[in-house]
Amino acid sequence: MKILTENARCWCGSKKRYGDCHKAFDEQLAALKRKGATVPPHKIIKNREQIEGIRESGKINIAVLDYVAEHIKAGVTTAQIDLWVYEQTVRRGGIPAPLGYEGFPRSVCTSVNDQVCHGIPSEDVVLHDGDIVNVDVSTIYNGYYSDSSRMFCIGEVSEEKKRLVEVARRCLEVGLEQVKPWGFLGDMGQAINDFARANGYSVVREIGGHGVGLEFHEEPWVSYVSKRGTEMVMAPGMCFTIEPMVNMGGAGVYIDDDNGWTIYTDDGKPSAQWEIQVLVTEEGYEILAR
């Protein structure tokens, strides 16, 4: 880390004096690092201008998911959802972040029943009464990224599936309670895993959340089966997703060999996931997309 003088411009790009901006922040990180903590690099700490840009991107992401919520129903294909997401994102001045990302062929991920995540929309996948589906929307707006997803119950869904969807949603609330400046990502991970397990479910280990804002996927990788007091320190200015994947059965998953993207549960039982994008603040957190 470059040593800055009090009067130098701060590394964050705010154009403020370092002594008035991030000097105390760096001192706090240095103290935690001396105690053995993993601390965030400067490159993932967002300044006020960047946060505002991400916030505006998040507004589009939310609006697109709201549109899906108003129109999704039995008989709709997941390809139709993809078209909605593309059209609603573009008409608001955004770009669907998944489209073309590392070869992903569509504008949104639609994961039905035992599909854990990264489901590829298709004309052949028709939503039926009793299905549960995750719609994962990600947006680029003026170069800033937002990312969130919601679960939808199609028609008359079994009580088993309803409970899974609700517990997955409550996992977010349990995790949010642990998002505090200078706490640890592991505090959130253990709280989520403990809650899911107490309700008879399992949390996927191999796939987690991620930093997001200036890029689609940034540091840190976020586990939801971690231990309290471990993982990266949550410092003000960090922006990441909370998106535990909660399985009705075991935690095991596999990837579709044919498309190289879609993740399924090993045992064929349903999986549910909600995703929000959060900013760590001096006081706690701000939800930027949900």
* Residue 238 reports pLDDT greater than 80: yes
Residue 167's pLDDT is what?
98
Question: What's the mean per-residue pLDDT of the chain?
Answer: 97
Residue 3's pLDDT is what?
74
* Residue 1 reports pLDDT greater than 60: no
Residue 240's pLDDT is what?
98
* Residue 112 reports pLDDT greater than 70: yes
Structural domain contains residue 15: no
Residue 2's pLDDT is what?
64
Structural domain contains residue 282: yes
Residue 191's pLDDT is what?
98
78 vs 14, 102, 122, 244, CA distance in Å? Answer: 43, 21, 5, 22
Sheet strand arrangement including 245-247: 202-203, 245-247, 271-273
Q: Could you tell me what percent of the chain has a pLDDT over 70?
A: 99
Structural domain contains residue 149: yes
Structural domain contains residue 8: no
Structural domain contains residue 25: no
Taking only the tens place, the pLDDT of each residue in 46-62 is 999 999 999 999 999 99
Q: What is the CATH number of the domain that holds 81?
A: 3.90.230.10
127 vs 77, 234, 283, CA distance in Å? Answer: 6, 39, 42
Structural domain contains residue 31: no
Q: What is the mean pLDDT of residues 212-225?
A: 98
Structural domain contains residue 244: yes
Count of domains forming the chain: 1
Q: What is the mean pLDDT of residues 162-187?
A: 98
| 40, 235 contact by CB (below 8 A) | yes
Structural domain contains residue 27: no
Its domain, for residue 208, covers 39-289
